[in-house]
Amino acid sequence: MNLFLETQVFLCEFLWLWLVAIYKAVMPANLLPHKDIEGWTVLVTGSGSGIGRLIALRFSGLGCRLVLWDIDQAGNEKTAELIREAKPGAHAWTYTVDLSRRDQVYEAAKQTVRSFLPVMVQKNRGHVVTVASSAGMFGTAGMVDYCSSKFTVFGERSYVATDSGDGRLLF
């Protein structure tokens, strides 16, 4: 695709996502379609701070049981504490995991959910939500490493979205 066309596609996608976000922000929550996820187990990575912490709190508010993975043990414990404060009796399990270490990820996965995608595909249930950044869609000066890592996230997401792990296409 040439640069002009790519830019047009990007701008259209960007605009569309903004419109959807604005629609969701102004519409009363009960008028929006939503799924009942009460009782589901949600694994949040990077839950010790920022967006991960807010996501964990939000899911807990929706009645989910939280599995919290972060390299920062103190931050992660704080998130669990905030969850229990906001909702007494809420389930939140913390694991200190360095996500850049495959061995640690597999070890933590064994203790929580044995594996993710194959089981989700088998049960035809579950979601994988990835936080990337618009920096993964276009380059920004001085942010080569950040843009590259976010671009990778988009690539990985398209892979996961199309590959069931056993050769079947998910859609």
Ligand X SMILES: NC(=O)c1ccc[n+]([C@@H]2O[C@H](COP(=O)([O-])OP(=O)(O)OC[C@H]3O[C@@H](n4cnc5c(N)ncnc54)[C@H](O)[C@@H]3O)[C@@H](O)[C@H]2O)c1
Binding site for ligand X (CB under 6 A): 46, 48-52, 70-72, 75, 97-100, 131, 133
By beta-carbon proximity to ligand X, the closer residue of 52 and 90 is: 52
Say whether 95 is catalytic. Answer: no
CB of 154 to ligand X, least distance (A): 12
- Indicate the residue among 54 and 121 with the shorter CB distance to ligand X: 54
Provide, rounded to whole angstroms, the least separation between the CB of residue 22 and ligand X: 18
22 φ, ψ (degrees, to nearest 5)? -65, -45
Q: Which helix (H) or strand (E) holds 39?
A: none
Nearer to ligand X, 99 or 170 (CB): 99
Catalytic residue among 23, 95, 146, 159: 146
- In whole angstroms, what is the distance from residue 135 CA to residue 20 CA? 20
Which amino acid belongs to residue 166? D
DSSP for residue 120: H
| Cα–Cα distance measured from residue 171 to residue 157, given in angstroms and rounded to the nearest whole number | 13
Positions marked active-site: 146
